[in-house]
C-alpha cells in the first residue's frame, strides 16, 4: 500500500499563485499541503525582479486587502520604489518596486513556513486521483487527491493546480532545445497527461526572458541613472513606511547596428525559424519581435535593474530573446555602456502547456471535475501579480466551496481581480493575458489607493483578513470621516476647504496652511480624502451607471438552460454560450461572439415570452 497523507486542500506548485492559494486556504481554517518539486524555489521570481506597475499594482494592493502575501513581502525586500504615471490622475498611477530577488523569495518562504495549518512538502505530482459518482442528475467527477513520485498519495477535498510554465515545458536558445520550465530546472508531464485523460482541452503558450549581466563588466558612466522616489510608497496597507535604503537603476538603448544584427540572424530565432509554433505575449515582445514589428524605430529603451543588494547580477529589461548564444554575446556588446559586458545567464524562450480558462467557473473551479481549481499560468496568464490574484481566489474557494460556504466571487465593477477572472472564464485567451488599466471599465472607482476600503470588509466577512488589518481599516475610515468633516466645516473667503480641494490647482498642503490641525492627518488618510473629493463627481456618475447595469446583468441563467430552445439565436452565439455556460445575463453578454440582439433573445426566453 502506498503511503497516504490526508488534508483538506492540496496546492500543487509554490510560485506566486501557489503561495497565495495555500496561505488563503490555511487562513480559512483548511489543513493545507503545498507541494513543490523544490522547496528552495518557493516564491521565486522567474523573470524580472520587480512587483507592480500600471494595472498590476492594483492587483497587488487588492491581494493585500484580502490578506495576501505579495505586498508584505515586497515591502520588506524592495530595493527601489517608484510610482509610474504620476503625471496622470490617481486612477492611472502604478506603484512598482524592484526586489532583492533572493531576499524576496526567502521572505515569501518564511511567511509560508510560519502560516498555521500549512505544510510545505517537496514532492513531484505525477497523477490526479478522481472519483466518479452517480447522482440523480447523472454521473459526476470529483477530485480526491494526487499521486506523487515515490509511491505516495495525498488525499483532500480540493486540489489547486498552480503549475506555472512547467507542464511539458521546453526551453529554446537559438537552435538548442532543453526540457525545462525555468533555467536550471526540469519539467513535468504527469499532470498534463492526467488532465488530457479527464477531457480537458490543453494548448501551448510561449514566454521569454532576457539575459543577465555582471555589473563588474558594465560601464555605468555611459548610462542614464534612474533613481527611486524620494518618499517610497509601500504596497501593503499594513506597512507604515519603507525604511531600507533605495538603489538606483540605469537606462540605455539599442542601436541601428543591433537591429541589423538581429535581422541578419532571424533565421536562427526559434520564433521565426518555425521551431516555436505557440504564441507569446504581444504586449511584452522579444527584441526580435520589436525589430520586426517596429521596423521604423531606430532604438528601444533598455532598463538595467539590480537583482539584489548582495549580487553583481543585472537584469536587462526590454531585451527578452531566444536568439543563439553567439548572437546574444554580439548584440549585448553593441549596447552603449555594455561593450565589455559579460553575460551571466543567457536569455531563452519557454513553451509550456496551459488549459484554456473558459473551462472554469468564476470561482476558478473546473467545470469537468468538482473540487479541482486552477490558478496562474496554467490559465493562460502571465505575470506574478496576475498569478497571485488568481491564486488567492482559487485557494480561498478551495476551502469555502467543499465546506458548503458562500464562495469568493468578485465582480468586475468591484475589483481588478474581478475583471481578470471574468475576462478569463468568459472570454478565454488567445495570447498570454496581462492586466492593463484599460481592461477595467470602472477604473475610476477601482484605484490602487482604495483597495482596502473596497475589499478588506469582504475579507473580514469570510475570515481571510487578520484582526490587525480590520482594526487598521476601521481607524483609517474614522480618520477619513473626521478629515472630511473638518474640511466641510472650514471656510476660507466664503468657500469651504472641501470645495476648494475640488480645484485642480489646490492641493492638500494648501488646506493644511489654512487649517493647521490637518497637519496631524496621516499621509494615507490625506491621500484618500484628496482623491475622493477630486473624483467625487465622476464616481457618482459611475456608480449610478453600475447600478443601472447591475439590475439586468445580475439576472441568473439556470445551470441547465437549453440554448437550443431559444428561437432565432444565431448558431455562433449558441455554440459559444453552450461552451462557456455563463451564470448570469451580464456574463453572457461578455462572451465572445454574442451580440446585444442575441442577449435580448435569451432574456425574452428566460422571461417566458418566446
Over residues 45-53, the mean pLDDT reads: 94
Fill in the DSSP letter of residue 584: B
Q: Which residue has the higher pLDDT, 278 or 227?
A: 227
- 134 within domain boundaries: yes
Q: Is the same domain home to 361 and 433?
A: yes
Last residue of a domain, one of 349, 376, 391: 349
pLDDT tens track for 259-277: 999 999 999 999 888 898 8
What is the pTM assigned to this prediction?
0.91
Q: Is the same domain home to 313 and 427?
A: no
The CATH number that applies at residue 87 is 3.50.50.60
Q: What is the pLDDT of residue 440?
A: 87
Q: Which residue has the higher pLDDT, 493 or 99?
A: 99
Instruction: Cell numbers for 248, please give them.
Output: 538606483
Q: Is the same domain home to 420 and 373?
A: yes
Residue 339, CB half-sphere, CA atoms under 13 Å: how many?
7
Last residue of a domain, one of 349, 372, 407: 349
Q: Is the same domain home to 9 and 99?
A: yes
Please list the residues that pair with 50 across neighbouring strands: 98
* Residue ranges in 226-319 assigned as alpha helix (H): 256-264, 270-273, 287-293
Q: Is the same domain home to 165 and 288?
A: no
- 479 within domain boundaries: yes
Domain membership of residue 513 as a residue range: 466-552
**pLDDT above 90: residue 417:** yes
Q: What is the pLDDT of residue 1?
A: 63
Q: Is the same domain home to 239 and 285?
A: yes
Q: Is the same domain home to 325 and 385?
A: no
Distance of CA 224 to the CA centre of its chain: 30
State the DSSP string of 162-220: --TT-BT-EEEETTEEEE-SSTT---B-HHHHHHHHTT---EEEEEEE--EEEGGG--G
pLDDT tens track for 365-375: 999 999 999 99
Residues 302 and 398: their CA atoms lie apart, in Å, by 41
Q: What is the pLDDT of residue 443?
A: 84
The CATH number that applies at residue 575 is 1.10.150.570
Residues 70 and 52: their CA atoms lie apart, in Å, by 10
Mean pLDDT of the chain: 92
554 pLDDT band, cuts 50/70/90, is confident
Q: What is the pLDDT of residue 91?
A: 78
Q: What is the pLDDT of residue 221?
A: 96
Which positions ≥6 away from 399 have C-beta within 8 Å?
8, 9, 24, 25, 28, 29, 30, 32, 158
Over residues 421-432, the mean pLDDT reads: 93
**pLDDT above 80: residue 550:** no
- 241 within domain boundaries: yes
- Of 64-68, 317-321, 575-579, least confident by mean pLDDT is 575-579
Q: What is the pLDDT of residue 592?
A: 83
Q: What is the pLDDT of residue 175?
A: 92
Q: Is the same domain home to 387 and 411?
A: yes
Q: What is the pLDDT of residue 402?
A: 94
Q: What is the pLDDT of residue 137?
A: 67
Q: Is the same domain home to 356 and 271?
A: no
Q: Is the same domain home to 416 and 495?
A: no
What percent of the chain stands above pLDDT 70?
A: 99
User: How many structural domains does the chain have?
Assistant: 4
- 558 within domain boundaries: no
- 381 within domain boundaries: yes
Over residues 392-408, the mean pLDDT reads: 97
- Of 175-184, 381-390, 587-596, least confident by mean pLDDT is 587-596
432, 320 Cβ separation under 8 angstroms: no
Residues 474 and 471: their CA atoms lie apart, in Å, by 5
Last residue of a domain, one of 461, 480, 501: 461
Q: Is the same domain home to 146 and 8?
A: yes
553 pLDDT band, cuts 50/70/90, is confident
412, 362 Cβ separation under 8 angstroms: no
The CATH number that applies at residue 526 is 1.10.10.1800
- 334 within domain boundaries: yes
State the DSSP string of 406-460: PP----TTT-HHHHHHHIIIII--SS-B---GGG-TTTTT--GGGHHHHHHHHHH
100 pLDDT band, cuts 50/70/90, is very high
Q: What is the pLDDT of residue 567?
A: 85
- 86 within domain boundaries: yes
Q: What are phi and psi of 323, to 5 degrees?
A: -65, 160
What size, in residues, is the chain?
610
- 547 within domain boundaries: yes
| Exposed/middle/buried for residue 307 (C-beta within 10 Å: 0-12, 13-18, 19+) | buried
Is residue 239 classed as helix, strand or coil in its secondary structure?
coil
The CATH number that applies at residue 341 is 2.40.30.260
Q: Is the same domain home to 245 and 115?
A: no
Amino acid at each position: 500500500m502506498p503511503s497516504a497523507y490526508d488534508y483538506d486542500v492540496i496546492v500543487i506548485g509554490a510560485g506566486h499563485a501557489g503561495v497565495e492559494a495555500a496561505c488563503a486556504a490555511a487562513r480559512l481554517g483548511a489543513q493545507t499541503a503545498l507541494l513543490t518539486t523544490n522547496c528552495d524555489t518557493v516564491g521565486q521570481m522567474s523573470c524580472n525582479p520587480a512587483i507592480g506597475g500600471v494595472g498590476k499594482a492594483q492587483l497587488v494592493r487588492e491581494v493585500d486587502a484580502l490578506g495576501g502575501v505579495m505586498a508584505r513581502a515586497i515591502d520588506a525586500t524592495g530595493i527601489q520604489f517608484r510610482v509610474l504615471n504620476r503625471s496622470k490622475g490617481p486612477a492611472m498611477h502604478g506603484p512598482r518596486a524592484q526586489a532583492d530577488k533572493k531576499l524576496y523569495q526567502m521572505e515569501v518562504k518564511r511567511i509560508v513556513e510560519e502560516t498555521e495549518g500549512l505544510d510545505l512538502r517537496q514532492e513531484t505530482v505525477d497523477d490526479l486521483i478522481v472519483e466518479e459518482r452517480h447522482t440523480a442528475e447523472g454521473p459526476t467527477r470529483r477530485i480526491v487527491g494526487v499521486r506523487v513520485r515515490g509511491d505516495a498519495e495525498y488525499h483532500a477535498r480540493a486540489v489547486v493546480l498552480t503549475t506555472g510554465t512547467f507542464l511539458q515545458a521546453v526551453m529554446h536558445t537559438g537552435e538548442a532545445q532543453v526540457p525545462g520550465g525555468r533555467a536550471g530546472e526540469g519539467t513535468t508531464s504527469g499532470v498534463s497527461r492526467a488532465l488530457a485523460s479527464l477531457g480537458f482541452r490543453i494548448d501551448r503558450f510561449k514566454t521569454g526572458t532576457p539575459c543577465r549581466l555582471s555589473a563588474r563588466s558594465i560601464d555605468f558612466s555611459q548610462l542614464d541613472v534612474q533613481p527611486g522616489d524620494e518618499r517610497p510608497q509601500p504596497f501593503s496597507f499594513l506597512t507604515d513606511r519603507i525604511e531600507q535604503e533605495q538603489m538606483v537603476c540605469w537606462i540605455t538603448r539599442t542601436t541601428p547596428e543591433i537591429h541589423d544584427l538581429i535581422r541578419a540572424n532571424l533565421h536562427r530565432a526559434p520564433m521565426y525559424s518555425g521551431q516555436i509554433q505557440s504564441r507569446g505575449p504581444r504586449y511584452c515582445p522579444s527584441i526580435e519581435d520589436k525589430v520586426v514589428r517596429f521596423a521604423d524605430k531606430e532604438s528601444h529603451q533598455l532598463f538595467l535593474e539590480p537583482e539584489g543588494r548582495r549580487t553583481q547580477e543585472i537584469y536587462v529589461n526590454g531585451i527578452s530573446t531566444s536568439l543563439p548564444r553567439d548572437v546574444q554575446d554580439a548584440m549585448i556588446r553593441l549596447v552603449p555602456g555594455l561593450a565589455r559586458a559579460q553575460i551571466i545567464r543567457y536569455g531563452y524562450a519557454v513553451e509550456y502547456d496551459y488549459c484554456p480558462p473558459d473551462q472554469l467557473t468564476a470561482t476558478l473551479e473546473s467545470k469537468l471535475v468538482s473540487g479541482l481549481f486552477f490558478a496562474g499560468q496554467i490559465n493562460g496568464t502571465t505575470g506574478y501579480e496576475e498569478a497571485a490574484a488568481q491564486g488567492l481566489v482559487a485557494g480561498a474557494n478551495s476551502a469555502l466551496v467543499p465546506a458548503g460556504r458562500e464562495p469568493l466571487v468578485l465582480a468586475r465593477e468591484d475589483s481588478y481581480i474581478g475583471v481578470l477572472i471574468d475576462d478569463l472564464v468568459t472570454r478565454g485567451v488567445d495570447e498570454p493575458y496581462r492586466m492593463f488599466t484599460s481592461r477595467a471599465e470602472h477604473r475610476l472607482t477601482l484605484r490602487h489607493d482604495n483597495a482596502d476600503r473596497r475589499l478588506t470588509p469582504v475579507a473580514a466577512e469570510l475570515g481571510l483578513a487578520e484582526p490587525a488589518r480590520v482594526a487598521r481599516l476601521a481607524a483609517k475610515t474614522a480618520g477619513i470621516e473626521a478629515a472630511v468633516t473638518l474640511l466641510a466645516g472650514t471656510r476660507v473667503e466664503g468657500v469651504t476647504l472641501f470645495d476648494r480641494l475640488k480645484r485642480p490647482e489646490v492641493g492638500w498642503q494648501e488646506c493644511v496652511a489654512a487649517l493647521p490641525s490637518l497637519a496631524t492627518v496621516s499621509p494615507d488618510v490625506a491621500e484618500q480624502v484628496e482623491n475622493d473629493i477630486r473624483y467625487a463627481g465622476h464616481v457618482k456618475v459611475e456608480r449610478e451607471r453600475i447600478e443601472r447595469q447591475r439590475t439586468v446583468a445580475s439576472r441568473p441563467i439556470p445551470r441547465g438552460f437549453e440554448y437550443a430552445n431559444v428561437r432565432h439565436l444565431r448558431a455562433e452565439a449558441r455554440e459559444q454560450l453552450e461552451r462557456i455556460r455563463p451564470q448570469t445575463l451580464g456574463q453572457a453578454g461578455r462572451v465572445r461572439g454574442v451580440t446585444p440582439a442575441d442577449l435580448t433573445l435569451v432574456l425574452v426566453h428566460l422571461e417566458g415570452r418566446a
